[in-house]
Chains A and B, each alone.
Chain A
Amino acid sequence: MTMREKIEEAAARYPDQRSAIMPALLIAQQEHGYLPGPVLEEVADILGIERIWVYELATFYTLFHTEPVGMFHLQLCDNVSCMLCGSEDLLDHLETVLEIRKGDTTPDGLFTLSTVECLGACEMAPVMQVGDDYHAHLDVTRINALLDRLRAIAGAASVERASARVPWE
């Protein structure tokens, strides 16, 4: 299915096309990796609605990215339960081994590092979300093993593919 077809299918669930903006943005972000201006305008055009309505949602909700993110977005929870179980130290460790600060992307485009509010998995704290997956009960050893796995998954060719899917840069 094309992006347009997926969005139109999602929009059929609602009596008002405006309700379909969030599902449409999730589909578009899945397709393009992030949501630059031309993508937001395309979403508005597909739904036949005001562009400003799409812009206001894309900038309000934290899961939508209007700037590019790395191939792997490391989203470390640092809310209370994870903080009590050591997420601060894990953030320090990630900043050290990736040689970036929170909010930045590694120069090779592989990792973006963020902290996020509660992931709703407090029983498994500390927790980090990478893509669709939660990684639980983290410590330095598990973080290192995870980074090694992600690097292995990526490989040089995959990084090139990840960059190639973003035609807006």
Chain B
Amino acid sequence: MFEPVLLKNIDVADSHLVSTYEAGGGYQALAKALREYTPDEVIDLVKRSNLRGRGGAGFPTGMKWGFVPKRAGKPTYLCCNADEGEPGTFKDRIITERDPHQLIEGLAVSAYAIGAETAYVYIRGEYVTAIRRLEQAIAEAHAQGYLGKRILGSDFNFAVHIHCGAGAYICGEETAMLESLEGKRAQPRLKPPFPAVAGLYASPTVINNVETLACVPHIVMRGSDWFRGIGPDKSPGPKLYCLSGQVRKPGLYELPMGIPLRELVEEHAGGALPGRKIKAVIPGGVSAPVIPEHGLEVRMDFDSLAAAGSMLGSAGVIVIDDRTCMVKVATRIVEFFHHESCGKCTPCREGLNWVVKVLRRVEGGDGAPGDLDQLEMLCKGIFGNTFCALGDGAAMGLRAALAHFRDEFVAHIEERRCPFH
């Protein structure tokens, strides 16, 4: 029987207060880590758990921590990615609003492991409630001795600062986030050097997502075997799935990694709205290629979704039913990426502008017979040719829509109108 841990507190009264968190066993993992483990032992524990980053890329967290040089002669920084701009995704908002101490404890244990004394939580500026709750939680944690100097009587000193974003999706890309934290336009950096070696202020830096950090105290308390025992061996652990769109019970669900997409949508989220049928599902935020209804047996983990031609990404599951025009969905997705392109590299900046123009023409009934070939050509020119994955996300999403729902694109061009209107 699966037992939720990440969301266990969120429906408790005053779940955001330190007293509530402590009453549920909070901050015991921090005490245990400081008392029983060296920093290297915490890193080994997380490596053995096979925790993979929950921000989208799925990189092994313990391995990332292990890249931080031991004696760099500079301070090491921990950055929490709470920018959460991927459409369809809202898990980090809910953790930060309703269980901010879980995040703070995760930050403290992680900072202890990598030798950081300062963390910045980069949180999107729209999340006003989450920001206020986190500010309050940081003050409470200081007052209780979980942050500050000589934490819980140890030699570990640690401070957490909030840095508010200002409405740029690209800040979710880790090197663009570092640029933004340094007070520059958020544009991705060329790698290498990787942030673990030269990140914030050219110092060793680890960047982890909110959900990733929230997993850490539970791994410390329950052990790596417990974590690895949930879901598939290569993508283990509990996972937060964000359900939205045309589905009966949208919301945030904590379930094992690797649950079948069909079970997630039809059983947990209640399936299609009355009188409707599911046509397609986007499994991991709008960067993730759409999966048509007949593909819903796929399991929700990094490797299974990659094998199925999509990706887990942020696990932002968007359900689309049979009344919806896929050309319209694809157009809106590419419009998003076009709007959010930081402008650094030409394939993304110029290519997406072109793609949007063609898609709008097709959707509006003014498409030409060669437009679909042109879209394919443009996707080929963008994919793999950009600094970061933003352009790739747009190209992958459009390619999948063209592959699975080509008949709808063709109908728009041949009928010179949207068949859904």
List chain A positions with a Cβ less than 8 A from chain B. 13-23, 25-26, 49, 53, 56-57, 60-64, 78-81, 83-85, 116-125, 129, 132-134
Across the interface, which residues of A come within 8 angstroms of B92, CB to CB?
120
Across the interface, which residues of B come within 8 angstroms of A13, CB to CB?
161
Q: Are the CB atoms of B332 and A79 closer together than 8 Å?
A: yes
Q: Are the CB atoms of B167 and A63 closer together than 8 Å?
A: yes
Across the interface, which residues of B come within 8 angstroms of A20, CB to CB?
183
B87 at the A/B interface (Cβ < 8 Å)?
yes
Given A16-B201, A118-B85, A123-B242, A23 contacting B164 (CB threshold 8 A)? yes
Q: Are the CB atoms of A22 and B245 closer together than 8 Å?
A: no
A117 to chain B, nearest CB (A): 6
Q: Are the CB atoms of A26 and B125 closer together than 8 Å?
A: yes
Across the interface, which residues of B come within 8 angstroms of A25, CB to CB?
166
Tell me which residues from 360 to 386 in chain B have a Cβ below 8 Å from any Cβ of chain A: none
Q: Are the CB atoms of B163 and A23 closer together than 8 Å?
A: yes
Give the nearest-CB partner of B249 in chain A: A123
Q: Which of the four size classes fits the interface of chain B?
A: 35 or more
Given A81-B244, A83-B332, A122 contacting B185 (CB threshold 8 A)? no
The one of A19, A21, A81 that contacts B88, using a Cβ cutoff of 8 Å = A81
Q: Are the CB atoms of A122 and B89 closer together than 8 Å?
A: yes
Across the interface, which residues of A come within 8 angstroms of B201, CB to CB?
15-16
The contact sample of 17 A-B pairs, CB cut-off 8 A, is A14-B161, A16-B201, A19-B182, A19-B183, A21-B183, A23-B163, A26-B125, A53-B184, A56-B184, A61-B166, A64-B166, A80-B88, A80-B332, A117-B336, A120-B85, A120-B90, A121-B90
A14 to chain B, nearest CB (A): 8
List chain B positions with a Cβ less than 8 A from chain A. 84-90, 92-93, 124-129, 161, 163-169, 180-186, 201, 242-246, 250-252, 282, 286, 316, 318, 320, 324, 328-329, 332-333, 336, 339-340
Across the interface, which residues of B come within 8 angstroms of A120, CB to CB?
84-85, 89-90, 92-93, 124, 126-127
Across the interface, which residues of B come within 8 angstroms of A60, CB to CB?
168, 185-186
Across the interface, which residues of B come within 8 angstroms of A81, CB to CB?
87-88, 244-245, 318
Across the interface, which residues of A come within 8 angstroms of B89, CB to CB?
118, 120, 122
Give the CA-CA distance A124 to B250 in the complex, in Å: 8
Q: Are the CB atoms of B329 and A56 closer together than 8 Å?
A: no
The one of B168, B184, B243, B339 that contacts A123, using a Cβ cutoff of 8 Å = B243
Give the nearest-CB partner of B246 in chain A: A84
Pick the most buried of B87, B92, B129, B182: most chain A CB atoms within 10 A of its CB.
B87
Q: Are the CB atoms of B166 and A62 closer together than 8 Å?
A: yes
Q: Are the CB atoms of A61 and B168 closer together than 8 Å?
A: yes
Across the interface, which residues of B come within 8 angstroms of A85, CB to CB?
245-246
B329 to chain A, nearest CB (A): 6
Across the interface, which residues of B come within 8 angstroms of A56, CB to CB?
184-185
Across the interface, which residues of B come within 8 angstroms of A121, CB to CB?
90, 93
The one of A17, A19, A125, A129 that contacts B244, using a Cβ cutoff of 8 Å = A125
Give the CA-CA distance A125 to B169 in the complex, in Å: 19
Across the interface, which residues of A come within 8 angstroms of B161, CB to CB?
13-14
Give the CA-CA distance A117 to B336 in the complex, in Å: 7
Q: Are the CB atoms of B180 and A22 closer together than 8 Å?
A: yes
Give the CA-CA distance A22 to B122 in the complex, in Å: 11
Q: Are the CB atoms of B318 and A122 closer together than 8 Å?
A: yes
Give the CA-CA distance A133 to B132 in the complex, in Å: 12
A145 to chain B, nearest CB (A): 21
Give the CA-CA distance A117 to B246 in the complex, in Å: 19
Across the interface, which residues of A come within 8 angstroms of B186, CB to CB?
60-61
A62 to chain B, nearest CB (A): 4
Q: Are the CB atoms of A117 and B87 closer together than 8 Å?
A: yes
Give the CA-CA distance A63 to B109 in the complex, in Å: 33
Q: Are the CB atoms of B324 and A84 closer together than 8 Å?
A: yes
Give the nearest-CB partner of A54 in chain B: B183
A146 to chain B, nearest CB (A): 17
Q: Are the CB atoms of A132 and B128 closer together than 8 Å?
A: yes
Q: Are the CB atoms of A80 and B282 closer together than 8 Å?
A: yes
The one of B88, B128, B167, B324 that contacts A62, using a Cβ cutoff of 8 Å = B167
Give the CA-CA distance A112 to B88 in the complex, in Å: 26
Across the interface, which residues of A come within 8 angstroms of B84, CB to CB?
120
Given A123-B242, A129-B126, A79 contacting B320 (CB threshold 8 A)? no
B359 to chain A, nearest CB (A): 14
Give the nearest-CB partner of A79 in chain B: B87
Give the CA-CA distance A78 to B336 in the complex, in Å: 10
Give the CA-CA distance A114 to B172 in the complex, in Å: 23
Q: Are the CB atoms of A61 and B244 closer together than 8 Å?
A: no
Across the interface, which residues of A come within 8 angstroms of B242, CB to CB?
122-123
Q: Are the CB atoms of B167 and A61 closer together than 8 Å?
A: yes
B350 to chain A, nearest CB (A): 18
Pick the most buried of A26, A79, A81: most chain B CB atoms within 10 A of its CB.
A81
